[in-house]
Amino acid sequence: MIQTREQSREALVRWFKGICRESGLRATAQRLEVLLAIARCTSHPAAEDIHRSLRGRMPTLSLDTVYRALALFERQGVLVRLWGPDGRFRFDPNTAPHHHLVCERCGEIKDFAWPGLAALGEPDAARAWGRVSRIQAEVRGLCPACARKEAGRDGPRRRAPARAREG
C-alpha cells in the first residue's frame, strides 16, 4: 500500500512516541522535528545542516540537542552515521543495505546498490576478526558536476598560434 506523505508522517510520529516511551525518554518537540527533518532528507546531512534547517521554526533549538537526538536515533537503528569527506559526521536515513559514492571535491554522498558485493559474502578476514554488523563500500572520486568543472579547467590547452616571422 502506498502511503500519502501525511500517513507516513503520522506513522513516523507514532513510532517516535513508542521509541521514546520504551526508552524512558520524553517525546519532545525538538526530537520530533529532528526526526522529521532527517526523514525528509534525500541527502546525507551533517548535524549542522539539520540544525540550520530547523532554526527558523525553532529558534531556541541548540546544536547540542540536534546531536543528542541524532545519537538517540542512531542507537535505535533509524539512521546510520557516516564520516563525510568534509571531516564532519553525516547521517543517512537509509538503513537498508547499500553503498556510497563520495565526491572528494563538493562532498556529495550518493547511495548506490552493488548486488555483486553482497554475493561475495563476508570476507574470511572479517569473520576471523570478530562480529560484523554491516558491510558497506565507499567509492570516492568526483561527481559528474565536479568532473565537468575539472575537465573545463584542466583540459587540454590550445597552443597559441605561432607568430609569423617577419621577413
> pLDDT tens-digit profile of 21-72?
888 888 889 999 999 998 888 889 999 999 999 999 999 999 999 999 999 9
Identify the H or E element spanning 68: helix 63-75
- The number of beta carbons lying within 10 Å of the beta carbon of residue 37 is 20
Q: What pLDDT, in 10s, does the model give residues 91-117?
A: 998 888 899 999 999 999 999 999 888
Cell numbers of 147, please?
A: 568532473
Q: Whole-model pTM?
A: 0.74
Which domains occur in the chain, in start order?
Answer: 1-92 (1.10.10.10), 96-152 (3.30.1490.190)
In the chain, how long is the greatest CA-to-CA distance?
93
In angstroms, the CA 73 to CA 79 distance is 6
